[in-house]
Amino acid sequence: MRADRLISAVLLMQARGRVTAAELAAELEVSVATARRDLEALSTAGIPVYPQPGRGGGWSLVGGARTDLSGLSAAEARALFLLAGPVAESDEAKAALRKLVRALPGPFRADAEAAASATMIDPARWGERDKTRPELVDRLQAAVIGRRKVRLAYANSKRERSERLVDPWGLVDKDDVWYLVAGTERGRRTFRVDRILAAEATDEPAGRPDDFTLAQAWDEVVTEVERRRSRTWATVLVESRFAGVLRDQFGRHSEVVAEEDGRSRVRLAAPTPLDIARHLAGWGALVEVLDPEPVRAELARIGAELTARYG
């Protein structure tokens, strides 16, 4: 695309100070004539670009004009490339990184390139096949950007199918599970992408609240989900040396409230008493449940079932 080349030309002049049509042509893999036309188009469009004839001449930005990207600090540049580098798998993403590198002042460029290649992401767990981003995500993302309503066929957790027309507001990838945040007739809703059976973008424009931000909306979703996941609390005793392992198992739904004779009193949470009992059953006698009684009853029932089968 010509717009892509024009942006690249400006960034290249910013990075090098001066560039010839031949150098630009080699960089962008176009003819010298095309590169010269692009440079002339920039000047005609009002971009502060001017040619300097003669030996050692070329095209430059008037007064060393800079793009906004040059306002990045060294730390900000490293952070940007640490985030972008590991996920730059597509040709488009890699091209964008190259342009960002050119836009940076010289002293920051080496650090940015090093940061981009310092880490990588392998989303597949041991023993799993390589994972790829679901094709449906790209389709939904295009609808979000294009502000177009989407007709969804969706199956809920009970596998009940429904169809609805939604306003797509944003997509979130949480621990390899994608979610679509969208507006519906009943307000904001969140859909798991792996439960979307079909999605078709329409020609109808999608609405979005003026004050909507995806980060804030997702924070509210997480808060509500975590509230539902912590409806039942239990108090247990475990040897202090194992308290950290127990807390890792329950994550944010756990806290050590006291230490007693080498044992830790830990508060744990889950949606139901059965959920807590299932997590604790494998601990056997290493964990003593003090309360509530429904969790103790579920553990006793699980123990009785195991004894009946394997006793």
Nearest to 64 by CA among 23, 115, 113, 105: 105
Q: How confident is the model at residue 74 (pLDDT cuts 50, 70, 90)?
A: low
pLDDT for the residue 65: 47
Taking only the tens place, the pLDDT of each residue in 158-202 is: 888 999 999 999 988 887 788 999 999 989 999 999 999 999 999
In angstroms, the CA 58 to CA 63 distance is 15
Tell me which CATH code domain 2-64 carries: 1.10.10.10
Domains 2-64 and 135-212 share a fold: no
The pLDDT score that the predictor gives to residue 83 is 53
DSSP 125: P
Q: What is the model's pLDDT at position 228?
A: 87
What band does 239 get if pLDDT is binned at 50, 70 and 90? very high
Residue predicted with more confidence, 152 or 17: 152
Candidates 2.60.40.10, 1.20.1290.10, 2.30.30.520, 1.10.3720.10; CATH matching 135-212: 2.30.30.520
Q: 169: Cβ–Cβ under 8 A, 6 or more apart, which residues?
A: 144, 181, 182, 183, 188, 208, 212, 214, 217
227: its two tokens: 């509230």
Separation between Cα atoms, residue 187 and residue 153, nearest integer Å: 18
Domain residue ranges of the chain, discontinuous segments joined by + = 2-64, 68-116, 135-212, 229-310
Residue 1 pLDDT greater than 50, yes or no: no
CATH number of 229-310: 3.30.70
Cis (ω within 30 of 0) for the bond into 292?
yes
What is the pTM assigned to this prediction? 0.58
Closest to 28 measured CA to CA, from 49, 11, 42:
11
Per-residue pLDDT at 46 exceeds 70: no
DSSP 3-state of 263: strand
